[in-house]
Amino acid sequence: MMKKVLLSGGGTGGHIYPALSIAKAFRGRFPEAEIGYIGTKNGLESRIVPKAGGITFFDVEIQGFKRKLSLDNLKTVSKFIGAVRDCKEIIRRFEPDAVVGTGGYVSGPSLYAAARLGVPTLILEPDVLPGLTTRFLSRYVNVVAISLSGSEQYLSKAKRVLHTGNPRGTEVVRADGQAGRKSLGLEGSDKPIILFVGGSRGAKPLNDAVFQLLPRLAEAQRWHFVYVTGEVHYEEVIAKLNKEQYPNLTVKPFIYNMPDVLAATSLVVGRAGASTLAELTALGVPSILIPSPYVTNNHQEVNARWIEEQGAGRMILERDLTGDGLWSVISEMTEDDAGHEKMSQAARELGRPDAAEVIIDELVQLSRSKQ
């Protein structure tokens, strides 16, 4: 039986929420076990993780590397060395059976310190293109768990690569589509739903494209459209939109029960972040992905291109996005029922709804091998 696990990951929800999914699965398997979490004091994880309850939060000081030559990188090296020292002290005091990282630069010193101390280690890579932290750690940790099977080609130095899927999918697969419809005011309706969503803050290029195709939406009464503007764009959108002209359109600034809404959705138009892909593949929802060009290493384009290559969705680059072009792809995907079902099945085959349990099984084996 495992008694303690230490998690680490931060910076974005794409790193934090998979860690919390692992924590939930670990607690389900070992109710009496202790769970710790290493993060940064000012990072998003410092606000999200304590709210989850039952997790001891430790903070260390660390910053990420700049992608070009910079004096700041000298400070980063110094902070990394100090963070490794602090992480070793945390690990010695907490005495975990295993240490798990889910990405973000805070995972670097946490897992490196654990590996040096001989504690079993596993890092989860949520994107197709592994980040700098995962590439660095791959030669030190016991296992690199990949969310999407296209990542193996970038991890030639890893000791062991295991396709687990993204633990976020473990929770999403239990989503309630009827609850999702009810939250949208569509209880009792059987219209298929097309969802436009650009992330928590929205995406102006997507908003612009949706405005361009509004007349098309009004004509497509067999569908119900849900348009998530992002909170910063909502008031502007509502001011421009005469909602009475579009009875088959629901506009929201943000959706808090996204898994339930996705479970009721037939097609998603949105970004290609790791959490989004985990949710879509777990539920088998076809997608039109518009990768953000403003992310590190352009990793969303790599994600979206891989999804398209697997037949689970389509990709439109932001620079090519127009209302007419988007509507053409939507029409193509929705008018072919057999093609839509094939794409849904392809998406579902990419997901691993048991990801969290697979990771826990691996941690159990790692801890046993050390004993």
Does 200 show up as a binding residue in the annotation?
yes
The residue with tokens 């700049």 is 66
Burial 60-81 (b: 16+ CB within 10 A, else e): bebbbbeeeeeeeeeebeebbe
Q: Which two tokens stand for residue 28?
A: 């389900």
**Which of 208, 228, 204, 225 shows the shortest CA–CA distance to 216?**
225
What sign for the dihedral angle of Cα 307, 164, 352, 175? negative
Does 255 show up as a binding residue in the annotation?
yes
Does 12 show up as a binding residue in the annotation?
yes
Give the CA distances from residue 165 to residues 150, 172, 173, 271, 356, in Å, rounded to whole numbers and listed in that order.
11, 13, 12, 19, 8
Cβ atoms of 172 and 274 closer than 8 Å: no
DSSP-H helix ranges across the chain: 13-29, 45-52, 72-94, 107-116, 132-137, 168-172, 177-183, 204-212, 214-219, 234-240, 258-263, 274-283, 299-309, 323-334, 337-350, 355-370
**Which of 286, 261, 277 shows the shortest CA–CA distance to 175?**
261
Cβ atoms of 110 and 137 closer than 8 Å: no
Does 183 show up as a binding residue in the annotation?
no
Binding residues: 12-14, 200, 255, 300
Binding residues for UDP-N-acetyl-alpha-D-glucosamine: 12-14, 200, 255, 300
